[in-house]
Copies of this chain bind each other. A is one copy, B any other.
Amino acid sequence: MNNAWVLNRRPIGYPKESDFKWIESPLPELDEGEILIEAHYLSLDPYMRGRMNDSKSYAPSIKLGGVITGEVVGKVIKSKSKLFNEGDYATAHIGWQKYGKIDAISARKIDSELAPISTSLGILGMPGLTAYFGFLDVCSPKPGETVVVSASSGAVGAIVGQIAKLMGCKVIGIAGSDIKTDYCLDELGFDFVINYKSDNILSKISEYAPYGVDIYFDNVGGEISDNVISNLSVGARIAVCGQISLYNLEENENGPRIGSSLLINQASMTGFLVFQFKSRYHEGLTKLSQWLIEGKIKYKEDIVSGIENAPSTFIGMMKGKNFGKLLIKIV
C-alpha cells in the first residue's frame, strides 16, 4: 500500500495541519517507460507554499485532494524503462508520498557512491543549482564586491555565501538566531552576519557595507529586503530567488517603492527560477560536486524522521524553525 499527503483545504495565511490530509491508496501500475520509486527522503522547500494557493504563478496550483508537490530521492523498485534498473537511485517530483511512479525521462539518476543520496535534494540538487546559477549568472559577481544574502543559513543561502567567498567577495549574511549567525561566521566563513530578530538591520548594513551593497541575493523579501535595498551601490544587482516573508500573508503587503533606488544607483532587480538554466544543470552539478569533494563547500541538513511529520515540519519551516536543508526521512 501507498500513503500520501494531499491538499485538504487551501491555506489562508500560515498553513495549518488540517489543511493537509493523509490518505492510503494501492501502489500504482506502471505503463511502458515508467518507473516506480520508493521515496527515502522528501525535500521540504518554501516554494511549496505558493503551489497551495489558487493564484497565477509560474507552475500550476495543487488541486484540492491532489498530492502535495515535492521532490524525493529514493530507490527504483520497478522499472518499465531502459533508462533505469531496479535498485538504481533517482530523484523525482513524485510529491509527498511513500511511493510514486513517473516517466523515466523525468527522473534523474543519482550516483550513490559520490555522496550521501540526501545531497541530491540539497547541495547537489535544486538548492545547489539555484545558488550556483542565481549567484553566478544573475548576479555576475566580481572579486572584492560586497554581497548580502538573506536566509543565509538556509539551503540556498548557505551555498550562495560560500560560492561568493570562493569568488573573492565580501559576504554579509542575514539569519534569524544566534546559532544560525554563528554557523555562518564560524563554519561557512562569512565576513559578517546580521541577526534580523535582534540587530538593527539598517545600521548593521551601513556598518558592514560602508560603500553600499553590490549584490543582494534575496530569499525573503519584505522589511529585511527594504533595508538592504536602501543601501545599494552604483551598479548593484539584486537576484530575487524567494520571498518567504510574503508567502503566508493573507493580503499583498505594501512597502517602500524601490524605483528611485534602482534609478539613482543604475541598479537592477531580477527574478529567476532555476528551471531557466535547465540546459546547464550538468555544468552546475559538476562544479558543485568538485567543490564538495575538495572540501571547499560545506552543507548542513536538518533531517526529520517520518513522513507523518511532513505537515508540521513544513509549517515550522515557514516560521524559520529549520536549520539547514530540511528533509523528511521516509525510509
Contact = CB atoms under 8 A, between A and B. Distances in A.
B259 A256 contact: no
B276 A263 contact: no
B58 A257 contact: no
A218 B259 contact: yes
Interface stretch (A106-114, A193-201, A238-246): A238-246
Interface in A7-34: none
A243 B269 contact: no
Interface string A234-253: 10000011110010000011
Tier of interface size on chain A: 35 or more
A222 B276 CA distance: 30
A262 B269 contact: yes
Specify how many copies of this chain sit in the oligomer.
2
Contacts of A261: 271
Contact of A271 (B57, B256, B259): B259
A265 B241 CA distance: 12
Contacts of A242: 263
A257 B221 contact: yes
Sorted nearest first, the 3 A-B pairs with minimum C-beta distance are A262-B271, A263-B271, A268-B270
Interface of A: 50, 56-58, 218, 221-222, 225, 234, 240-243, 246, 252-273, 276
Given A58-B266, A262-B270, 19 more contacts: A58-B265, A222-B257, A240-B263, A242-B263, A243-B257, A243-B263, A246-B259, A246-B260, A252-B256, A252-B257, A254-B255, A255-B257, A259-B271, A263-B271, A263-B272, A264-B271, A266-B271, A267-B271, A269-B270
